[in-house]
Structure 1
Amino acid sequence: MQTLALVRENMPLLLIGLRATLLLALVTLLVSTIIGIVLGTLATLRPPLVRILAAFYVEVFRDIPLIVTIFTIFFGAPLLGMPLEPFPATAIGLSLWGGANGAEIVRGGIRSVSKGQREAATALGLRLWQTYLLVLWPQALRAVLPAYTGLLALIIQSTSLGALVGVTEFLKAGGLIIERSTVMLGINPAFGIYSVVLLTYFAICSILTALSRRLERRLAVGHDRRAPAMPDASAV
């Protein structure tokens, strides 16, 4: 009962934190998707230098701990004469990390498409960009979607790292309520408040997973109803 009362009293603060979490996740998802599509596609092209550069970016930002990336951007930007507020610094760090993971997902999705599809597109005279846009990307989507939904869930969870550099996101809002209650009321509602935070994250990620599975089923049904876009050259 005490926890519910605190939640009701501090609902405006919790909503501010939740809005910041969702906005941070949305910005990160959009930027990560752009980076992921571009680098994931470059990683499947023939020129070895392009593939090496894309692989280098992916390995760097996947191997460095995310919190280190965020700290480096937040504390390093002022040294370059470009001080950043906590929100954009966190968004940049999350986007660089998310883009690296997204690129690996996209690369794997494109590689999962039969080699014969690319050969058939070439035989039909399609340009490179047409091959990717009309043949490879649509077929890779079904392989990419589940992993990308998992990445989105990780991005939402990772927004909590923004609290370490001063972003008033959902976890930070919960922490402020606990601090305020401890100082002003002499109680420590940490377990109850963090349980609310936990359940909220769980609900958001569960909804995303359910929507992803529904979209997967619809894509599978649509794929089964369509005739193949082009023959597989490897079967000829």
Structure 2
Amino acid sequence: MQPNSIEHLQKLLSQASEVTDANLSTIDKLIEHIPEDMTATVQAGMMLATFQEQLAKGGQWLPVDPPHPHDLSVGKLLSTNANGPRRFGFGTIRDWLIGLAFVLPDGQLVRNGGKVVKNVAGFDLCRLFVGSHGTLGMIVEATFKLLPLPQKETFLQKECKSLKVAEKLLEQIWNSNLQPCVLDIHRMNDHPITLIAGFSGANTDVKSQSNIAREMGLTTKTDCRYDWAFRSTAHCSDSVAPSNLFS
């Protein structure tokens, strides 16, 4: 099934006895981006990378970073609750979703939430749909709150001889004044256990926090692509969060 519009999808669903898959790649428009309100509404077929490029023209972004954004549509981002290493500091896509439109199996179009950040009207179905894998309906449109693009980002790592050493360093960071947007531990194949910390924001703030992190031993520069490599080689889908290591 490959509808060319939301209305076409409604018609196809209302006439279908069974639907195993639907290609929404042509339902891919940016409905609106209001920089002064820091919100944007987009159709589900647009690729996340394209959406981010459009938002960047207004100096803003949606602060999620799942792997392979050029191949990940907004609809799939929501239905799978895809995320990346910045989830530590920015949360997941559920935290940025404020409005949703979806089509039920009988073809009925339902809208929930709103287009303003402080909308509190009605029952919140948006969070319910995130991670539902299309079992509740087909997401066709979403409205997100946004953030300004960071002036600077820096990611640093340190290889640790043991999990105990990594845990001690994590606790040191946790008890400091640092505010990392990324804080991760991973181990790929036979490589050493590696701790990564990332900082995002204003130039002076990122520089200051990075200097403190370097004093703690995180001296090697890296980037968020480590997460993509880790997921493709590890048996589990997520790296280890600090809360899983100590309380």
Q: Does the pair score TM above 0.5?
A: no
Q: Which has the larger radius of gyration?
A: 1
* Larger helix percent: 1
TM-score of Structure 1 vs Structure 2, range by shorter chain? under 0.3
* Larger strand percent: 2
* TM-score of the two chains, using structure 2 as the length reference: 0.22
* TM-score of the two chains, using structure 1 as the length reference: 0.23
